[in-house]
Chain A
Amino acid sequence: MSHNTLLVFEVTILVLAIFLGFEVISKVPTLLHTPLMSGTNAIHGIVVVGAMLVLGSPHKGVFGWVVGFLAVVLGSANVVGGFVVTDRMLEMFKKREQPKADDASTDGKSAE
């Protein structure tokens, strides 16, 4: 693929991703704003892939080595920290859902 063909293709998917990003979270309850922010924060940890490509490329020289290494450290912290923090937040919601389910089941029994 020539460079310009590739560029046009990349711009196309970029624009589609903008619309998808808006569409996919259009209806989100207030109580999930914080976990959703944290979740998107984990997703942009994908930057670690870019960092790995820099550090893992041949002929990078000392400069590329040092900068790439730092970038992988930062990117990995973003990924792991982001997903773990989000999971801890959502763990709480799971607990909260349970009493509701229990209530429903006991209601069902009493109705019988």
Chain B
Amino acid sequence: MSTNLANLLYLITIVTFILALRFLSNPAHARRGNQIGALGMLLAVIVTWIKTGGTSWWALALAMVIGGGFGAVAARRVKMTAMPQMVALFNGVGGGAAALIALAELHKILPDPGRPKLDISTAIVLSGLIGAISFSGSMVAFAKLQELIQGRPITYPGQKFVNLALLAACVGVGVTLVSGVQDEWLLWVVISGAALFGVLFVLPIGGADMPVVISLLNAFTGLAVAVGGFELENNVLIVSGMLVGASGTLLTLLMSRAMNRSIANVLFGAFGQVSPQAAAAAAATDGGTVRSASAEDVAVMLAYAHKIVFVPGYGLAVAQAQHDVRQLADLLEQKGVEVSYAIHPVAGRMPGHMNVLLAEANVPYPQLKEMDEANPEFARTDVAVVVGANDVVNPDARNNQGSPIYGMPILNVDNAGAVVVLKRSMNPGFAGIENPLFYNPKTVMLFGDAKDSITKLIADVKSL
């Protein structure tokens, strides 16, 4: 296949990717968008296959079967609740691939007489550096979300300085390589240093902020791929990689805005560490008492209410209780209770996560209320049922300036007539902060696994 024909076909791929992004921003066409993108990708792979002209074709086939097979099985098997870490994992391997390409390209051009071209060697160093950060950072994000390592921020004194020094050292070694010291091991140093930086960079970031970090690392991988396109003089890599680099950066900003935090605060704030004021406030709430109720009591409260709002959180997702909640809601509706769901934009572990889970349980779309729509409703709600949510209903975000989540918009469940909190135990939530809502005299706690509690509630409401 001639280079021109190949590039024209690659152009079709680029167009499908642009359409995919366009369609993915609209709920009605999102799925078709993804399918269009997948077709474009298939075209690019076929064109590239023909371009290689049968060289090592069996190795290509084997590698694609291994990688594609792993991707397909992992993506099919994963539960909806574990989607965020899957995105992190697949993002990481993409970054890893970009770093490996840099290694292979340098190895190929170094034996040539004379200095490698400046732009090519710059591209090699950059894609190795960014790809390696994306790879190791994503793996740490995966480990945190999968709870292989603790989700809380891991910090030590002088952390920012150490990170900065490490990054500067990597860049320095990279510059040495670009400026003409033709040693392959320099790139190994850059890549290992960058991989270490990726780990140190993500470790101090709390689990609740992981979606924003994954989105940022996603943009990094896109950038690494675009730079890789310069090494291979390949347009489809340059354009597609940069599309992801730019849109991923914008998406990262949109996500941190949804949490009412600046991106710098997310990345360097070590969110979830307890500040002295917050600790003092927490000590004050310790004086309050927590009321716990039995399922029977709560069932009576629910069955005789006029209006109930469910506030789902990550606990619901973990317990896979979305189907049971819908069953309980149907039952209550039969008894004439008005039921809706209040969805916080960052409920669960990713923006939009809750909508996906409740949609899976066939919750009717008109019952799902976004935060702005739900908040004015709480004043005329009899019972707000908080199922495994914590930080998104924490009144400290409104009242306590010392709280790390101060300023984050929350669902004002404490405006409802009564609040029922379904929770496993009194352990603080994902972000590791106290929640005074639990000590509010209006609140009763129903302890236990969300699924078990809801099942009991269903039985008790039925028997009323």
Contact = CB atoms under 8 A, between A and B. Distances in A.
Interface in B65-104: 66-72, 74-76, 78, 80, 83-84, 86-87, 89-91, 93-94, 96-98, 100-101, 103-104
B contact face: mostly helix, strand, loop, or mixed = helix
B242 A72 contact: no
Nearest to B94: A78
Contacts of B69: 80
A79 B215 CA distance: 17
Given A46-B237, A56-B52, A89-B356, 11 more contacts: A7-B119, A10-B235, A14-B238, A35-B30, A37-B215, A41-B221, A53-B232, A65-B59, A77-B71, A78-B93, A82-B94
B38 A42 contact: yes
Given A83-B34, A87-B31, A97-B27, A53 B68 contact: no
Contact of A85 (B70, B90, B364): B90
Interface residues on A, range: 35 or more
Contact of A72 (B67, B74, B222): B67
Contacts, number: 389
Interface in B187-235: 211, 214-215, 218, 221-222, 224-226, 228-235
A67 B89 CA distance: 20
Contacts of B108: 57, 60, 64
Given A46-B236, A76-B71, A83-B38, A51 B251 contact: no
Contacts of B244: 21, 40-41, 43-44
Interface in B35-82: 35, 37-38, 41, 44-45, 48-49, 51-53, 55-57, 59-60, 62-64, 66-72, 74-76, 78, 80
Interface of A: 3, 6-7, 10, 13-14, 17-22, 24-58, 60-61, 63-65, 67-97, 99-100, 103
B215 to A, nearest CB: 5
23 contacts: A10-B229, A10-B230, A10-B233, A20-B18, A21-B250, A22-B247, A25-B247, A32-B26, A34-B353, A37-B215, A40-B218, A44-B240, A46-B13, A47-B225, A47-B241, A49-B44, A54-B101, A68-B100, A69-B62, A81-B75, A81-B90, A96-B355, A96-B359
A82 B35 CA distance: 12
Contacts of A31: 27, 351-352, 355
B345 interface: yes
Nearest to B242: A17
Contacts of B173: none
Contact of B235 (A13, A83, A88, A91): A13
Contacts of B83: 34, 38, 85, 88-89
B362 A50 contact: no
A88 B73 CA distance: 13
Contacts of B90: 41-42, 45, 77-78, 81-82, 85
Interface residues of B, number: 119
Interface in B220-272: 221-222, 224-226, 228-251, 254-255, 258
3 smallest beta-carbon distances between A and B, as pairs: A21-B246, A56-B52, A76-B67
A55 to B, nearest CB: 6
B366 interface: yes
Interface of B: 13, 17-18, 20-22, 24-28, 30-31, 33-35, 37-38, 41, 44-45, 48-49, 51-53, 55-57, 59-60, 62-64, 66-72, 74-76, 78, 80, 83-84, 86-87, 89-91, 93-94, 96-98, 100-101, 103-105, 107-108, 117, 119, 211, 214-215, 218, 221-222, 224-226, 228-251, 254-255, 258, 345, 350-353, 355-357, 359-360, 362-366, 370
A15 B351 CA distance: 29
Contacts of B103: 67
A34 B352 contact: yes
Given A32-B352, A34-B356, A79-B71, A56 B21 contact: no
Contacts of A25: 21-22, 24-25, 247, 250-251
B261 to A, nearest CB: 15
A6 B90 CA distance: 32
A99 B364 CA distance: 6
A32 B30 contact: yes
Nearest to B215: A37
B45 A29 contact: no
B242 A18 contact: yes
Contacts of B74: 77, 81
B119 A18 contact: no
A103 B366 contact: yes
Contact of B21 (A39, A55, A65): A39
Contacts of A77: 67-68, 70-71, 74, 90, 93
Nearest to A102: B364
A14 B214 CA distance: 23
